[in-house]
Chain A
Amino acid sequence: MFTVFLYGAAILWLTASFFRDRERTRLALRKAWKSFENILPSVLAILLLIGLILTLLDADTISRLLGSDSGVLGMGIAAAVGCVTLIPGFVAFPLAASLLAAGAGYAQIALFISTLMMVGIATLPLEIRYFGRRAALKRNVLSLICAVITSCLVGAAMGG
């Protein structure tokens, strides 16, 4: 749905731009291509890296790691798995729901989801290219800290 909207918006704007000013449109296209080509090597590397990571850490393995464990060790595993993997939400949420049903704690699941969304070790090289090493590392470390704090609170609020 969103894809249709995104492509629609891009095509509409491109068409409007083309009729108003061809030279500027050409410039916009050149800029779009240049900045795309610029990150292409990192993106391709990330795509392959994700494939490898998820082969080792598939849904079954994650269930085994998180399902029976709880407590601090469970939190550590949840954070580690969330940080290194890159799973789209429509896969992650059902997985989280089944983990909860299998007995995982709320705090662990919240931490897994939060780190999955906010911390990206696989994409760190790309982030460094955009914002520099310091800022990229800082954002990821801060995100991890925030994820730990909010997840403990979620755990407490949900009663374990």
Chain B
Amino acid sequence: MKKTLSRYRLFLIMLLADLLLLCMSPELGRKAVSLSGNHLLQMLSVIPPIFLLLGLMDVWVPKETMTKYMGRGAGARGGVLAFLLGSLSAGPLYASFPVAAVFLKKGVSLTNVFIFIGAWSTTKVPMMLFEITQLGMKFALIRFGLNLAAIAAMAVIMEKTASKEEAASICETAIRRADGD
């Protein structure tokens, strides 16, 4: 009970802030609640199936398979695969974290995991198409080209600047999350 309470501490504080706002300014308070509601719907449209797929992947896909295609020895092909998986995803960036955690557990290299997160954040295909319609082909393509380079550079920097201990601790933390502790 006490443990549950402390886990939900931040949530309770936010709830209190919402209630306070509702009392002080009912109009703004209602707006905040309805915005949260919108995001809840958006979350429900991707998070539950993602976790289901992750559970299934954890049980059915052997580590060797993932390591072979996206592990340290997979080379450029692994990077391209990570990029495609990230770009073909949907949902807010934080939905990529649990996926990345299971990837790390299954032996995907740190570089490829960060390529995956980078692609998820920036080069999602539906978003790209929407960006073209809203901001124009030139703007969208220039941004895409530059982001491609940025994603690759960032993934390499993340991997290269992580000491052995740090890389191990990232993996360990992620695996603990993937196992649900």
- Chain B interface helix/strand/loop/mixed: helix
- The number of chain A residues touching the other chain, given as a range, is 35 or more
A-B contact count (CB 8 A): 231
Interface residues in chain A, defined as those with a beta carbon under 8 Å from any beta carbon in chain B: 1-3, 6-7, 9-10, 13-14, 17, 24-25, 27-39, 41-52, 54-55, 58, 86, 88-90, 93-94, 96-97, 100, 106, 109-110, 113-114, 117-118, 120, 123, 125-127, 129-132, 134-135, 138-139, 142-143, 146-147, 149-150, 153-154, 157-158
CB <8 Å contact, B162 and A158: no
Q: Which 4 A-B pairs have the closest CB atoms?
A: A34-B180, A32-B55, A51-B36, A48-B14
Question: How many residues belonging to B are interface residues under a CB distance threshold of 8 Å?
Answer: 82
CB <8 Å contact, A35 and B130: no
Which residues 1-40 in B have Cβ within 8 Å of A in the complex? 7-11, 13-15, 17-18, 21, 28, 31-37, 39-40
CB <8 Å contact, A35 and B179: yes
Interface residues in chain B, defined as those with a beta carbon under 8 Å from any beta carbon in chain A: 7-11, 13-15, 17-18, 21, 28, 31-37, 39-40, 42-43, 45-56, 58-60, 90-94, 97-98, 100-101, 114, 117-118, 121-122, 124, 126-127, 130-131, 134-135, 138-139, 142-143, 146-147, 150, 153-154, 157-158, 161-162, 166, 169-170, 173-174, 177-181
